[in-house]
Amino acid sequence: MRFLRSYVAVVDAINLRVGRIVMYGIFVMMAVLLWSTLSKFGDRPSLWTLEVAQFAMIAYFFLGGPYAVQTGSHVRMDLFYENWSLKRKSAVDAVTVLCLMGYLVVMLWGGISSTAYSLGYFGSEPLSFFAGLITGSEDIGTLERSRTIWRPYLWPIKAIMCLGLLLMLMQALSELAKDIMHLRGEEA
């Protein structure tokens, strides 16, 4: 149990800090969209603004998700849940968190594959590609770019997406550990 408590404390602290920083990303997106609007009035619309706003929203969504789960501010169907005992809530939450973890593993694998593709790897083993990048046995290929007129590289936002999915998976494990502690009658 000491390990679970330590894991929960570390993951919750990381996601709390990341979430608190990322929550201000909405202002970045608003500023970019405001600039987009103002630039259109001057007959010189910016080509990069909508895509930067999309990237900011992706980062906001993926990096803020673990914080939302941790604080319980995500959407929850609450017809019966509110009236249940803590143990019953924990049992149901443990099952749903396991389903969430399965979904997140599939999403993370897809994100890792997509990030490897954006770095010019076209094989079927993205983890060996990243291991090869670390050891120096692999080279980065032709970097994937957006098909818009601005043509930014896509690997940074895909890497942020993978980081967000990894943080969400770690937070889901933390929530499962809390549910296990509640089911055992211990304070989480």
Name which of 162, 183, 166, 187 is nearest 9 in CA terms: 187
Helix %, strand %, coil % for the chain, to 5?
A: 70, 0, 25
Give the model's pLDDT for residue 64: 96
Give the model's pLDDT for residue 1: 81
Range of the domain at 113: 2-183
- φ, ψ dihedrals at 145, nearest 5°: -125, 155
81 three-class SS: helix
Tokens of 67: 């914080």
Give the model's pLDDT for residue 47: 85
Domain annotation covers residue 17: yes
Q: Rounded CA gap, 162 and 184, in Å? A: 33
- Report the alpha-carbon angle 64-65-69, nearest 5: 120
Give the model's pLDDT for residue 40: 87
Domain annotation covers residue 165: yes
Give the model's pLDDT for residue 168: 98
Rounded mean pLDDT for each run of 10 residues along the chain, 188 residues in total = 93 98 94 92 85 95 96 82 91 95 98 96 94 93 93 96 98 96 88
Domain annotation covers residue 94: yes
Name which of 55, 9, 4 is nearest 28 in CA terms: 55
Q: Rounded CA gap, 76 and 78, in Å? A: 6
Q: Rounded CA gap, 141 and 120, in Å? A: 4
Give the model's pLDDT for residue 11: 98
Give the model's pLDDT for residue 143: 95
Give the model's pLDDT for residue 61: 95
CA dist list (Å): 96 to 29, 79, 85, 108, 176: 32, 16, 17, 18, 9
Tokens of 36: 């987009």
For the entire predicted model, the pTM comes to: 0.91
Structural domain total, the chain? 1
Q: State the first-to-last Cα distance of the chain, in angstroms, to the nearest integer.
A: 10
Domain annotation covers residue 95: yes
Name which of 144, 145, 150, 146 is nearest 49 in CA terms: 150
Domain annotation covers residue 188: no
Give the model's pLDDT for residue 72: 87
Q: Rounded CA gap, 184 and 188, in Å? A: 10
